[in-house]
Amino acid sequence: MSEPLAALRAALGTRVRVNEPLAPRTTFRVGGCADLLIEARRVQDLIEYARLARAHGVPVFILGNGSNILVRARGVRGLVIENRCDQFSLEDADSAQAIVRAETGAPLPGMANRLARQGWAGLEWAIGVPGTLGGAIVGNAGAHGGCIADSLIRVTILDPSGAVRELPKTDLGLAYRTSRFKHAHDAIILRADFTMRRDDPTACVARMNQYIEQRRRTQPTEPSVGSMFKNPPGDAAGRLIEQAGLKGKRVGGVEVSPVHANFFVNRGDATADDVLQLIDLVRARVYEHLGVELELEIEIVG
């Protein structure tokens, strides 16, 4: 272990884990280890761990629910902070709207569900998106015609200099499945404020149930990272992959899902290298057959 890592490990004490496997902490269930991993359950801890790592010159990677990343076999160098800060509350609620102030480790489906059942509309689309709020902001997650950018007001971040500051939505570069944070890893999103609209709880829950049912019919249930590629303008990546004859294509333990071709599924023994090979193969084949360059929606880390 390098000197800075050893010093950081000593500073973090018994809370930190060494050479911690990341596969069980991702929805794909593949990938190597983190040099160091620590869980943060309070925002103050998240800030403290990140500042300590930076003071020791050790890179930091924030892990949400690991549902939009592929961790390479060699794993992640430095400190992985697993964000488990999951508190959220309603503020300034009146008869028409409210602001939800949330910590970014909050699981999206749980948040959407609780708010909908209380008659707050705006996040129902997120019921089947198995990530944390932080990961969802980074990728401007969306589904069923809605996305994070629709109701986000502002975020609070720990910036690269170690300062805590607020940024309005307009400064976040939110666009289709991206933001200024994607691939940057220089800021940590600590909290986020959203606008919610008052609605009939029964109507909110009915919308969620409809989305859940739609997913059940169209998406596989094996471990995956959801959509592998972004949809090219005016088209669907899944349709293109299917048209290139790749539904069911397999490399080692990973397969282009026969249910939805933009999902790669882990058949139980997939490795990160299998997934990387299948990504290359699918991209090459789709380009060859249809002249379209598919862009990854997920992030490859490590």
Ligand X SMILES: Cc1cc2nc3c(=O)[nH]c(=O)nc-3n(C[C@H](O)[C@H](O)[C@H](O)COP(=O)(O)OP(=O)(O)OC[C@H]3O[C@@H](n4cnc5c(N)ncnc54)[C@H](O)[C@@H]3O)c2cc1C
State the catalytic residues: 177, 227, 297
Cα 32 to chain centroid distance, Å, stands at 18
Q: Within 13 Å of residue 289, how many CA atoms lie on the same side as its CB?
A: 15
Distance of closest approach, residue 93 Cβ to ligand X, in angstroms: 25
Distance of closest approach, residue 65 Cβ to ligand X, in angstroms: 4
Which H or E run contains 167?
A: strand 164-168
Cβ nearer to ligand X, comparing 119 with 232: 232
Token pair of 268 as six digits: 């139980």
Contact assessment for residue 140 and residue 149, using Cβ atoms and an 8 Å cutoff: yes
Distance of closest approach, residue 223 Cβ to ligand X, in angstroms: 8
Cβ nearer to ligand X, comparing 12 with 129: 129
Cβ nearer to ligand X, comparing 188 with 196: 188
Contact assessment for residue 177 and residue 159, using Cβ atoms and an 8 Å cutoff: no
Residues 6+ apart with CB under 8 A from 152: 137, 169, 172, 174, 192, 193, 194
Distance of closest approach, residue 297 Cβ to ligand X, in angstroms: 8
Tell me which residues touch ligand X (CB under 6 A): 27, 61-69, 83, 104, 129-132, 134-136, 138-139, 141-143, 181, 188-189, 224-226, 299
Cβ nearer to ligand X, comparing 62 with 251: 62
b (16+ CB within 10 A) / e for 185-221: eebbbbbbbbebebeeeeebbebbeebeeebeeebee
